[in-house]
Amino acid sequence: MSRPTLSLVIPIFNEELVIPELDRRLREVLESWRTLVDDWEVLFVNDGSRDASLEQLKALAQSEPRYKVISFARNFGHQMAITAGLDRAEGEAVVIMDADLQDPPEVVSEMIQRWRAGYDVVYGVRRKRHGETIFKKVTAAVYYRLLRAMLGGISIPVDAGDFRLLGRPVVLAMRALRERHRFVRGMVAWVGFRQTAVLYDRPSRFAGETKYPLRKMVRFAVDGITSFSVVPLRFATWLGVLSGVLAFMTAAWSVYTKFFAAGVVQGWTAIMIVVALGFSAQLLMTGILGEYVGRIYEEIKRRPLYITAEEINLSAPPAPPRAPID
């Protein structure tokens, strides 16, 4: 087996404080991979950065032709940046990693070895999470386990992010999935293939601030659930059954008080409870239905997933497939 070509896909959003150290660490590990790969490329996907990140990436690309830059016309989001990198990566193995150095480049060596042993997907599982609050650790642990329980037949690894190596067949399969609300780690689990894990300790951010505050984390969590599960829609049935049971109990209680508690004015509290529960159930299910309907609306518009403003050191993109002529 000849040594493979490796592609690194690294989304960038306002990482001017990290890029110099990222470059230094990358050059060190890429030099050490001479026995593992015969060629490599690094695709930096600038996701609409508003600081000096793009200028720094351009300077790096001038000094190293295997450093390639894709710059979006605006901020399209982390998952779209990963998608753009996968669309243009040419390596037989493609590694997705964050720019903040919480995904240690040194771990990629073990991923490559596992891939050479026959695995198509090698994902990183966080053994320890340094520099994160107890709240984030607890909510992440609960969310991953809840998501895994809700998805049924799709097994998404617990405590694993987007840091992973994908073989060429997996990359080609991922390119065929063009839904707008993207949950890449769920999509990788969905396509299947032979997968294994590599354990690592996740360090703190090297510099800068997290790009996933609570609001974005909640949005990302909703994307993960609604992209792969219809369980939230089944809440309507469960809430309907619960409301019916409560209504039956309230009716029985009302009949009892009417015949056996004469002279006592009762019923207002029970009515208010039932009405409140009924309205809460309706509003909850309206919101869930709206979430799914909104996703359908965005999908049928068929807009491109992202728009590229500038590309550096990249060959021309492949021509889109054409419809057959009758």
Do 284 and 220 belong to one domain?
Answer: no
In a domain, 97, yes or no: yes
The torsion angle over the Cα atoms of residues 270, 274, 276 and 281, rounded to 10 degrees, is 160
In a domain, 323, yes or no: no
Expressed as residue numbers, the domain containing 282 is: 231-300
pLDDT at 102: 84
Closest of 183, 179, 181, 163 to residue 224, by C-alpha: 183
pLDDT at 145: 67
Do 246 and 110 belong to one domain?
Answer: no
If you ran DSSP here, which 8-state letter would residue 268 be given?
A: H
Q: Can you tell me the distance from the alpha carbon of 171 to that of 83, in angstroms, rounded to the nearest whole number?
A: 10
Q: Is the entire prediction scored with pTM above 0.75?
A: no
CATH number for the domain harbouring residue 206: 3.90.550.10
In a domain, 308, yes or no: yes
Instruction: Kindly calculate the radius of gyration of the chain based on its CA atoms and give it in whole angstroms.
Output: 25
Do 65 and 78 belong to one domain?
Answer: yes
Do 51 and 115 belong to one domain?
Answer: yes
* CA 310, 313, 314, 315 torsion-angle sign: positive
Do 105 and 71 belong to one domain?
Answer: yes
Do 80 and 55 belong to one domain?
Answer: yes
- Model confidence at 176: pLDDT above 80: yes
- Model confidence at 321: pLDDT above 50: no
E strands of 183-270, at which residues?
Answer: 195-202
Q: How confident is the model at residue 219 (pLDDT cuts 50, 70, 90)?
A: low
Q: Can you tell me the distance from the alpha carbon of 127 to that of 202, in angstroms, rounded to the nearest whole number?
A: 7
Please give the average per-residue pLDDT across 107-132, as a whole number.
Answer: 82
Please give the average per-residue pLDDT across 190-216, as a whole number.
Answer: 70
pLDDT at 238: 66
- Model confidence at 21: pLDDT above 60: yes
In a domain, 167, yes or no: yes
pLDDT at 28: 85
Do 87 and 150 belong to one domain?
Answer: yes
Percent of the chain with pLDDT over 70: 59
Do 201 and 277 belong to one domain?
Answer: no
Q: How many domains does the chain have?
A: 2
pLDDT at 324: 43
> Average pLDDT, whole number, for the chain?
76
Q: What is the pLDDT of residues 264-295, one digit of tens each?
A: 555 555 665 666 666 666 666 676 776 677 66
Do 266 and 200 belong to one domain?
Answer: no
Q: Can you tell me the distance from the alpha carbon of 240 to that of 246, in angstroms, rounded to the nearest whole number?
A: 10
In a domain, 325, yes or no: no
In a domain, 317, yes or no: no
Do 215 and 244 belong to one domain?
Answer: no
Do 189 and 238 belong to one domain?
Answer: no
71-75, 128-132, 158-162, 193-197: which range is least confident on average? 128-132
Q: What is the pLDDT of residues 131-157, one digit of tens each?
A: 566 766 666 666 666 666 666 566 777
- Model confidence at 109: pLDDT above 60: yes
- Model confidence at 2: pLDDT above 60: no
29-33, 84-88, 107-111, 150-154: which range is least confident on average? 150-154
In a domain, 321, yes or no: no
- Model confidence at 210: pLDDT above 70: no
CB atoms within 10 A of CB 117: 10
Do 43 and 186 belong to one domain?
Answer: yes
